[in-house]
């Protein structure tokens, strides 16, 4: 493997850029109901083909989850090279990462909640106390875990993110003992024992894959590997193989039979192969790279806010553009404007500095108390 080959933070941002594009397309065009009765053209694709492609883009969830677990593993490795840490240290690691996630989400939460209530587009339709419970659970990112009503369904991913943060120290210690064998050890019971179609469990196979890939630099090894002595021909062969593999897996994933028998496997494997494919052939292209990195930088804000724009605040405006490309570009543009506004607020209120100090003081208190 080349010494200078590394899956960098810039690469991570670029992959997040791809994932956020997939997310917008999936939410906008994966089924007829998501068009809200609008007549939408997908030219030059047929409507059926467009729906099929966009349905497959749900792998963006697994891509985000993999990148999260990958980064958490590298963070643990940088602090404990041999993965030997105490229970207290593991608890502080989990708490630190949760606090970071909490403060990252807090400003978009208040922005979206305020506009939603001001425009009377809230989805909270229960009694007062049930609504208050939903707001509190949303605020702390655990609405999906506790089963309360979510302000928007997209926010369920925060609960998965929290589960991954809690799960990672256990998975890393498990990996220390069994190495790559944790992959089949998680795959087999996950495939046969876990309930089907449950958001908080069906994506967990990415976690052992991410731990293994991060520790052994698997992405870098895969990229540096050439099946032929001629590296150009080897690259072409890898492109044909990976593209064909993705197409086959997407096809299986789009069938009831495939989901019934291989949902847990595919929800882990498909995002990883997609990231490998993008790392090999897309995210380092000169023109595409800065665009994807830019989208990746704003991906969190877009993730938190775009559903409000699409389904609550501006539904009729979004789908008034009639063509899928223009709908996508408009939604992306508005979501980016909101992200710019949030960045402006962060800068003017010294948000990152203030929340950073609050987090530091809280963690010092927790370290001395727990």
The pLDDT tens digits of the residues spanning 262-311 come to 999 999 999 999 999 999 999 999 999 999 999 999 999 999 999 999 99
Supply angle C-alpha 34, 36, 41, rounded to 5: 80
What distance lies between CA 126 and its chain's CA centroid? Answer: 30
| SS3 (DSSP) at 45 | coil
Domain boundaries, the chain: 9-369
Q: Which pLDDT belongs to residue 3?
A: 47
String of DSSP letters for 172-189 = HHHHHHHGGGHHHHHHHH
**Ramachandran angles phi, psi of 41, nearest 5°:** -95, 140
Q: Which pLDDT belongs to residue 4?
A: 60
Could you identify the residue written with the tokens 């990112």? Answer: 141
The pLDDT tens digits of the residues spanning 339-349 come to 999 999 999 99
pTM of the model: 0.94
Query: CB of 323 within 8 A of CB of 43?
Result: yes
Q: Nearest CA to 330 among 128, 61, 40? A: 40
Q: Which pLDDT belongs to residue 134?
A: 87
Q: Which pLDDT belongs to residue 2?
A: 52
Low-confidence spans in the chain with pLDDT less than 50 = 1, 3
Query: CB of 199 within 8 A of CB of 156?
Result: yes
The pLDDT tens digits of the residues spanning 44-78 come to 999 999 999 999 999 999 999 999 999 999 999 99
Q: Nearest CA to 77 among 217, 221, 182, 215? A: 215
């Amino acid at each position: 493997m080349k010494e200078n080959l590394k899956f960098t933070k810039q690469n991570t941002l670029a992959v997040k850029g791809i994932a956020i594009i997939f997310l917008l397309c999936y939410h906008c065009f994966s089924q007829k109901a998501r068009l809200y009765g609008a007549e939408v053209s997908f030219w030059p694709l047929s409507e059926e083909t467009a729906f099929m492609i966009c349905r497959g883009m749900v792998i963006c969830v697994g891509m985000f989850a993999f990148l999260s677990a990958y980064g958490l593993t590298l963070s643990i490795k940088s602090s404990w090279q041999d993965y030997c840490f105490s229970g207290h240290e593991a608890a502080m690691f989990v708490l630190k990462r949760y606090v970071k996630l909490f403060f990252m989400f807090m400003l978009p939460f208040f922005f979206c909640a305020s506009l939603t209530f001001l425009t009377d587009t809230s989805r909270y339709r229960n009694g007062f106390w049930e609504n208050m419970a939903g707001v509190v659970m949303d605020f702390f990112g655990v609405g999906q875990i506790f089963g309360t009503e979510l302000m928007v369904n997209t926010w369920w991913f925060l609960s998965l993110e929290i589960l991954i943060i809690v799960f990672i120290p256990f998975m890393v210690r498990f990996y220390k003992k069994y190495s790559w064998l944790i992959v089949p050890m998680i795959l087999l019971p996950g495939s046969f024992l876990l309930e089907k179609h449950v958001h908080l469990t069906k994506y967990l196979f990415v976690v052992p894959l991410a731990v293994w890939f991060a520790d052994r630099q698997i992405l870098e090894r895969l990229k540096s590997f050439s099946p032929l002595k001629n590296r150009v021909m080897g690259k072409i062969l890898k492109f044909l193989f990976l593209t064909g593999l993705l197409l086959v897996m997407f096809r299986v994933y789009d069938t009831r039979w495939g989901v019934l028998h291989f949902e847990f496997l595919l929800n882990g494997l498909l995002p990883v192969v997609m990231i490998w494919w993008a790392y090999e052939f897309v995210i380092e292209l000169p023109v595409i790279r800065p665009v994807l990195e830019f989208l990746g930088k704003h991906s969190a804000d877009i993730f938190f806010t775009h559903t409000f724009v699409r389904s609550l605040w501006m539904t009729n405006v979004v789908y008034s553009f009639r063509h899928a490309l223009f709908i996508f570009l408009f939604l992306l543009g508005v979501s980016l404007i909101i992200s710019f506004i949030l960045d402006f607020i962060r800068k003017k209120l010294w948000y990152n500095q203030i929340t950073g100090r609050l987090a530091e003081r809280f963690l010092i208190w927790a370290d001395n108390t727990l």
